[in-house]
């Protein structure tokens, strides 16, 4: 059996849970590209391109002659509809079938019919009141919850020195453009002891950096007792684990980011000065139509608050342009925010309708040419601004986690505190032939290439 993972870091965690479950069920995992009787594809269903990539991967896996099984977000979101339109898939399974996945693969292998998943709105499966969800969550299959080193072991699928660690699942927000809550469900936190236990296991298996993931990390703990429940309380516990040298938080909602959380991230030893803020836009008009809160000035105030605590902090975000009803004035407001905020990394996405969302039925839709023009316009501005931000770091010192050793074909490459895995650029380390994967190295920035930094080694830090 082979396992292919598409999408975000949350999906990577889910795949390692599935690998653990399948191993316990007697399945042997082989490397991607090796001969396999069954290929499990952990799909992504977030945006149109991700769905296309998932379908293409399923079709390519089928071309190998293996039995193909679709799991993950796209399978959960579309279920039988996906199965009917994609007969190449031997089975389309939802989250509720993860406990029995090994048995379902046995059925697939032996040609037994497997009933396709029938989607439901997963927000309806847990109580509306957050504090009642902890008692009810054991009756609902929530990927990444209720398992760990003392239950179903997580099986690492690579030996990277960084690993995602899920702290919560689901989302209670009702952003008009987003379908994720309908198939990921209501927000529910993992118990901090369970998170710490898994983090310790990861540290024992070679991990140096923990990348905390969820759909909304700023909501962590709202469904837990007060003495257990804040992210500010969890961070020091994780940072104190032997062998863990860096803890990174992802996906913060600006409207929920309290000053105490900003201070905890900025001031807690070994927690990266990194703020992954979900701004999405800065025009108050557009944000209200998105069913979100804030405006340019309040967002700038948050950015300045972060930099008062940590001037070199990395701040990144994603933005949607071309949202229904977006005017030239709204776009100019976004440009004002981006110009003054000077973020380190920015993703720009053109609006497209998502099945079952409120925005799908909003008036004021813009044509595709206008959206494409605005994506190009804002994208060009972002490229210039983020390159300038990287240039500003020339002459400063950064601590780099080495991820790729130097060889005849590639440079020694790592990431500084302000650079998350895969999305925020990297550090190219000069004369790094003696460095090993997993080393932490104090470096001086000598040049920049776009958002990437060129650095020279000052010293290898003891870990």
The SS3 of residue 180 is helix
CA angle 177, 180, 181 (to 5 degrees): 105
DSSP state of 87: T
Tokens representing 220 are 């962590």
Determine whether the annotation assigns residue 427 to a binding site.
no
Q: What is the phi/psi pair of residue 367, to 5°?
A: -75, 160
Using the 8-state DSSP alphabet, how is residue 462 labeled? P
State the Cα–Cα distance between residues 180 and 7, nearest whole angstrom: 13
Burial of 26 (0-12, 13-18, 19+ CB in 10 A): exposed
Annotated binding residue 178:
yes
As a residue count, the chain comes to: 463
Could you tell me the end-to-end alpha-carbon distance of the chain, in angstroms, rounded to an integer? 37
Strand 274-276: give its sheet, edge to edge: 274-276, 314-321, 345-350
Using the structure block, give the residue that is written with the tokens 């939802």: 94
Binding site annotation covers 443? no
102 contacts: CB under 8 Å, gap ≥ 6:
21, 22, 24, 25, 26, 27
How many of the other CB atoms lie within 10 Å of CB of 80? 14
Instruction: Decide: 252 and 214 in contact? Cβ < 8 Å.
Output: no
For the annotated binding site, the residues are 8, 44, 73, 171, 175, 178
Residues contributing to the annotated binding site for [4Fe-4S] cluster:
8, 44, 73, 171, 175, 178
């Amino acid at each position: 059996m082979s396992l292919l993972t598409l999408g975000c870091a949350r999906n990577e965690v889910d795949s390692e849970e599935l690998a653990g479950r399948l191993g316990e069920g007697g399945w042997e995992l082989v490397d991607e590209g090796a001969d396999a009787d069954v290929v499990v594809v952990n799909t992504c269903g977030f945006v149109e391109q991700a769905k296309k990539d998932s379908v293409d991967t399923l079709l390519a896996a089928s071309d190998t002659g293996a039995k193909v099984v679709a799991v993950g977000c796209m399978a959960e979101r579309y279920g039988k509809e996906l199965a009917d339109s994609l007969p190449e898939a031997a089975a389309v399974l939802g989250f509720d079938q993860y406990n029995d996945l090994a048995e379902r693969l046995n059925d697939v292998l032996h040609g037994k019919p497997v009933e396709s998943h029938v989607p439901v709105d997963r927000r309806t499966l847990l109580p509306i009141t957050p504090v009642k969800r902890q008692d009810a969550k054991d009756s609902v299959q929530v990927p990444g919850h209720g398992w760990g080193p003392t239950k179903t072991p997580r099986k690492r699928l690579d030996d990277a020195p960084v690993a995602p660690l899920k702290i919560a699942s689901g989302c209670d927000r009702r952003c008009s453009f987003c379908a994720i809550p309908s198939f990921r469900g209501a927000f529910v936190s993992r118990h901090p002891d369970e998170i710490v236990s898994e983090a310790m296991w990861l540290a024992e298996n070679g991990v140096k950096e923990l990348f905390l993931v969820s759909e909304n990390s700023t909501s962590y703990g709202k469904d837990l007792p007060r003495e257990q429940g804040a992210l500010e309380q969890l961070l020091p516990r994780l940072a104190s684990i032997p062998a863990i040298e860096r803890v990174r938080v992802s996906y913060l909602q600006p409207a929920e980011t309290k000053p105490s959380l900003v201070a905890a991230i900025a001031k807690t030893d070994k927690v990266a000065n990194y703020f992954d803020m979900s701004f999405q836009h800065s025009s108050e008009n557009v944000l209200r139509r998105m069913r979100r809160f804030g405006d340019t000035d309040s967002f700038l105030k948050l950015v300045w608050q972060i930099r008062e605590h940590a001037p070199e902090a990395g701040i990144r975000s994603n933005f949607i342009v071309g949202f229904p009803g977006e005017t030239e004035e709204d776009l100019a407001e976004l440009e004002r925010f981006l110009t003054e905020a000077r973020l380190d990394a920015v993703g720009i996405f053109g609006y497209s309708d998502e099945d079952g969302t409120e925005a799908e039925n909003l008036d004021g839709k813009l044509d595709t040419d206008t959206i494409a023009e605005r994506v190009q316009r804002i994208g060009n501005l972002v490229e210039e601004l983020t390159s300038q931000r990287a240039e500003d770091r020339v002459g400063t010192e950064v601590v780099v986690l080495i991820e790729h050793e130097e060889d005849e074909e590639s440079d020694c490459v790592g990431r500084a505190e302000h650079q998350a895995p895969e999305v925020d650029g990297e550090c190219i380390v000069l004369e790094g032939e003696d460095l090993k994967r997993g080393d932490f190295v104090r470096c001086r920035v000598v040049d920049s290439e776009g958002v990437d930094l060129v650095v020279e080694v000052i010293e290898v830090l003891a870990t």
